[in-house]
Structure 1
């Protein structure tokens, strides 16, 4: 009997609510907000410092930058003083002055606890306009996403960027998660032509590049691989292709969406999560048309809607305070009516800081936080 009672007591002890492990809450992190600025490395040191300090005051967590050419002169109201060469004027020959200029900015950002998403190439450089580059000259817009020699050349570029050791930071970029949240596959891949993504990426460009990047980064590296806005704006129906949502090496889906106001972001975000196959999802580019909407009202209301759903976002673009030498009005820019000057009077700080005060819908611990 004693033996039986002992066994019963043991069972009761195991089953007792007092000793059952408490259910673990779903791990989460704060949400976050920030901006794109593709020409930050072209500004003077003083202008970089002033702009980054302003972003820090807003509690910006992430800035998206590009490994691209910059030329001195006026750019969206700013005076650029640094001539930054293209990384490749000739395929396979790398000019690290391009990355050195970015590295200098990364040091300044991380000093203010701001991290970076780096876009290693602009898909719009494959369009036959002023942005075209050596990849356009060699493969044009279509073959770049179709031919193995183009894949190999671009993989070499990605390898070079990920393995680059900073001239200013002394850090190997792929080993610097304290500064870098993510590397895009490319900025807006397959915008030229859309047929490659609308046909489902039949040549496997996206996942192939992601797997190459993961091989270089290492399986346990916390730096994320993000899509960079596949096909450009979400209206092109490429953002959530199975080519990326079902790719084991893609960590995050970057959404680019330029919508009317209101944008109904919280409702859209729910459907994006459903399509993501468990990948992280964030709004990498969005903007408010200055020729149509009052940004004093629209910016706070739109970001508050995003924050209500825990949707992280990067605006296109919060612009540095304009130079008296470079007159610029975003509402008159035929190709980009979205910029908001950081001294425009629009309440940027409240909504951006508000993002960090709400729980993100997904956990960004280990990457942003």
Structure 2
């Protein structure tokens, strides 16, 4: 057993156990294992069966999901994933970027805490599963775990379901570690600063500054907002703080929502429709970013940079600039590390 010790004051024949340490487990949304039909079906089935995501009664939703949706959607989603797939590593960009974030955070926290902290990553849907990484941390001697969903803004369909899965994983452990969860960090100066830096860098590369910056956030049914989910308000505040940091006029930045699914009304305005309206209104040059995503994924690389781009250009737009997510940018890693360190207070010196 690596890094194993005999407990203080124990009998001489007491077996060695792992040295106690603190775990930091970062979590992202998830990824299919491949773009093939069955891997896509398994991934979509897990995702769309989550009551935090789709809260319709199972008796009504599951027959539709298991027949109509999962009969067809794995083909269309697989095609979308293939257009962005990291073929060299044979994995989704989200997994590649999460690994890069993990590597940088490991280095930063090792410099701060030495080998007293173990950093790992997991996915809410797909692999590596949350349960497998929690088990690995417990077996490695983590008696305390800080669970970190990488969502700046809180939503029941993102942060809460990631936490749910973490707590379910703890239920499988005989000796549960003490735990904390990372709170939303959408309004922290370091996060807003990292977003602003990414916009400034992108604008500096352009011959003409965009007419407007579109901040596109993943969507939710409007009903969730009315039930008390704070996500919409936190998105609006993120945009406002970014506007203030960049010193942009009110008419040079806006908030929209993407990834609508199903027939009911979602948070508006819808990004795909709004960019077309902007083009038709004479805003021929736009930049767009996705502040709710900590890493580029299918919703940004395919939906924004392909579908939404096409909507804008088809409506008469001339220049469409996609500003990548913060990914493993050093300013982003510093912002995350700062939040992690704050939430480890009292556990580590």
Instruction: Report the TM-score, using the length of structure 1 for normalisation.
Output: 0.29
Bigger share in helix: 2
Bigger share in strand: 2
| Structure whose CA Rg is larger | 1
